[in-house]
Amino acid sequence: MTRFDITILGCGSAMPTTLHNPPSQLVELNEKLFMIDCGEGTQLQMRKYKTRIGKLQALFISHLHGDHIFGLPGLISTLSMLGRTDDLHIYAHREIELLLKPLLIYMGQHMSFKIELHPLNAGKKEVIYENKTFQVSSFPLKHRVNTNGFLFEEKEAPRHIIREMINYYNIPVREIAAIKAGADFITDNGTLIPNHILTRPPSPPRRYAYCSDTAYAPEIIPYIKGVDLLYHEATFAESELSRAAETYHSTARQAAEIAAAASVKKLLIGHFSSRYNELETLLHEARAVFSDTELADEGKIVSL
């Protein structure tokens, strides 16, 4: 099975602390590396955790609050110093141009690659990236400014050939593609060998959803139904429920309620307020509702 890893580079919130960096994470999927959000110091975190900065394909920016974007100038400048030539694709709300344009003017001729900006639709779910084996969608969250979540989904893979059976029935190479796609095979003497004898079902497609920043929003449940891993913000403990509502953030319990209602397999909570020196209360409050919950932490890798 190909790698499908999520690496947490930062799981703090607006105010950085010595415990947590501003938001950023990497998704490595089928040999491609993507970044979600890029708070200040993200490139330093990439070095710390020895991630392959040169493999970065695209950036997905959930919204334009500073803690999610202030690492962009440094990252872009470093990629250019490293001599990147491939276009860098940035999926973000259109207003990011206000911040990127002066940077690009400033870098001018020193810029070794082009930035391709793909504006996000804050109103509805859309497929924003697609290749042969997986796709990425964005969908609306509920925050003080336009904010999108992201869904990384593998596509249904073809069935796996059982090598021994292919040899046993002496099946010619030209038939393999059709058999992978589900065809039966007819031997020289006319016997039909049903496909399920020749193949195994593929691993079920894996899915990862990122939901940050957002108020408690049951309307997102259809977008994230049954995912293998849900990252959901949990800025506050339940004691700050009203503060969470005012600031359009979630409590840990609310994150767990979304996870339970969406029947996800596992919940990872993050975007912790700087007021918490320890996170046991948040973990405890979430697990009371959804037991398969973990705390995000800088350097943590979750493999699907």
Q: Is 38 in the site for a copy of itself (CB under 8 A)?
A: no
Report the residue from 23, 73, 140, 270 that binds a copy of itself according to the rule CB under 8 A. 73
Report the residue from 4, 22, 37, 51 that binds a copy of itself according to the rule CB under 8 A. 22
- Can the peptide bond before residue 188 be classed as cis, meaning omega within 30 degrees of 0? no
> Is the Cβ–Cβ distance between 121 and 139 less than 8 Å?
no
Q: Is 23 in the site for a copy of itself (CB under 8 A)?
A: no
Q: Among positive and negative, which fits the CA dihedral 255, 138, 118, 89? A: positive
The two tokens of residue 59 are: 């950036």
Could you tell me the smallest distance in angstroms from the CB atom of residue 178 to a copy of itself? 51
Q: Is 195 in the site for a copy of itself (CB under 8 A)?
A: no
* Closer residue to a copy of itself in complex, CB, 77/195: 77
Report the residue from 55, 94, 101, 275 that binds a copy of itself according to the rule CB under 8 A. 101
Report the residue from 2, 32, 57, 78 that binds a copy of itself according to the rule CB under 8 A. 78
Q: Is 81 in the site for a copy of itself (CB under 8 A)?
A: yes
- Report the candidate in 170, 158, 147 with the shortest Cα–Cα distance to residue 271: 147
Spot the catalytic one: 37, 67, 213, 228.
67
Q: At what angle do helices 280-287 and 252-261 cross, to 10 degrees?
A: 30
* Closer residue to a copy of itself in complex, CB, 106/168: 106
**H or E segment to which residue 255 belongs:** helix 252-261
67 in active site: yes
* Closer residue to a copy of itself in complex, CB, 2/17: 17
Please spell the DSSP secondary structure of 73-120, one letter per residue.
HHHHHHHHHTT--S-EEEEE-TTHHHHHHHHHHHHGGG--S-EEEEE-
* Closer residue to a copy of itself in complex, CB, 107/161: 107
> Is the Cβ–Cβ distance between 266 and 294 less than 8 Å?
yes
- Report the candidate in 193, 192, 213 with the shortest Cα–Cα distance to residue 270: 213
Q: Is 283 in the site for a copy of itself (CB under 8 A)?
A: no
Whole-number Cα distances in Å, 19 to 16, 22, 42, 174, 298: 8, 10, 15, 57, 9
Q: Is 155 in the site for a copy of itself (CB under 8 A)?
A: no
Binding site for a copy of itself (CB under 8 A): 14-18, 21-22, 40-41, 43-44, 47-48, 64, 66-67, 70-71, 73-74, 77-78, 81, 98-99, 101-103, 105-107
Hey, which residues are catalytic here? 67
